[in-house]
Amino acid sequence: MTVLQEGRRQLSEGKRAERRLGWLLCAPAAVVMVAVTGWPIIYSVWLSLQRYDLRFPAEREFIGLSNYAAVLSNGFWWNAFGVTMLITVVSVAVEFVLGFALALVMHRTLVGRGLVRTSALIPYGIVTVVAAFSWRYAWTPGTGYLANLVTPDGAPLTERASALGIIIVAEIWKTTPFMALLLMAGLALVPEDLLKAAAVDGAGAWQRFRSVMLPVMKPAILVALLFRTLDAFRIFDNIFVLTAGANETSSVSMLTYNNLIKGLNLGIGSTLSVLIFIAVAIIAFIFVRLFGTAAPGSAEEGRR
């Protein structure tokens, strides 16, 4: 009896110690993450309600929602928003198809698997600015093989439609391997026996893909699409190098940068910050709603 009570008290003490250690170990990471993102985003809500131009600091005052009215009634914002959405939707859609193909090659190839995987990691790892310069020179008349090949007498980076196309190509090239790796993680979960059984039962490649692979891979696909969509929405480096936002090719990130560095207008800049934050939150929400609750992290609890 006394031994049992003793044991129980030790258990609960152990439990409490475990708790304390858990909090202690997580605290530094949690504090840094919240301090560097939570505080500035709250601060930017506060700034967005003010007239605050660093060139005229004396005129700083509280103006309510006027900044939001100014941004939302401005053509630049809607143009940048449209450009960002276009780039996001097109590049993620193409990447999904290419990434799936690449994942299949990396997963199933009979020869040179290591070589293929190593090469595919190069676009993932390379500095985006470097890749963007390669594409810029490729499409600049004179220095570029692609410009000389495809449009011998045009300057594709100086026209809106072709410039947007090139930005999308650069984005797809850089991030398809990442998409492919996330999808490959899902592919590895597809039981080989099931595929074989389906093949024996006479299911064609498309049917095997639709009824065997897709259901198993759904969580991996959701993660890949969600992460890439939100990542594509913040596109900046490629546009900065390829067009610098000329000819109405600015994304919302590019617009924010120009406003901050060239305009030094913190009130408007913070308004843009808050609007982008809301847009991203809405996209993430729609994703989780559309694809069910299989959001990353939701399975975390059951696993332990």
Residues in region 109-148 near another protein by CB under 8 A:
109-112, 114-123, 125-131, 133-135, 137-138, 142-145, 148
* Contact indicator for 272, 252 with CB cutoff of 8 Å: yes
Torsions phi, psi for 62 (to 5 deg): -80, 125
* Residue 117 or 243 with smaller CB distance to another protein: 117
Question: How many chain residues are in contact with another protein, going by CB under 8 A?
Answer: 114
User: What is the closest distance, in whole angstroms, from the C-beta atom of residue 125 to another protein in the complex?
Assistant: 4
Asked if 29 interacts with another protein (CB under 8 A), we say yes
Please choose, out of 68-76, 89-97, 156-164, 275-283, the segment that lies near another protein by the rule CB under 8 A.
275-283
Asked if 55 interacts with another protein (CB under 8 A), we say no
Asked if 266 interacts with another protein (CB under 8 A), we say yes
Q: Which of 276, 232, 226 is nearest to 87 (CA)?
A: 232
x-marked contacts with another protein along 234-263 as a string, rule CB under 8 A: x-xx--xx----------xx--xx-xxx--
* Residues in region 154-193 near another protein by CB under 8 A: 173, 177-178, 181-182, 184-186, 188-189, 192
DSSP for 190-201? S-HHHHHHHHHT
* Contact indicator for 47, 266 with CB cutoff of 8 Å: yes
Torsions phi, psi for 243 (to 5 deg): -130, -10
Three-state SS string across 33-57, please?
HHHHHHHHHHHHHHHHCEECECCCH
User: What is the closest distance, in whole angstroms, from the C-beta atom of residue 64 to another protein in the complex?
Assistant: 18
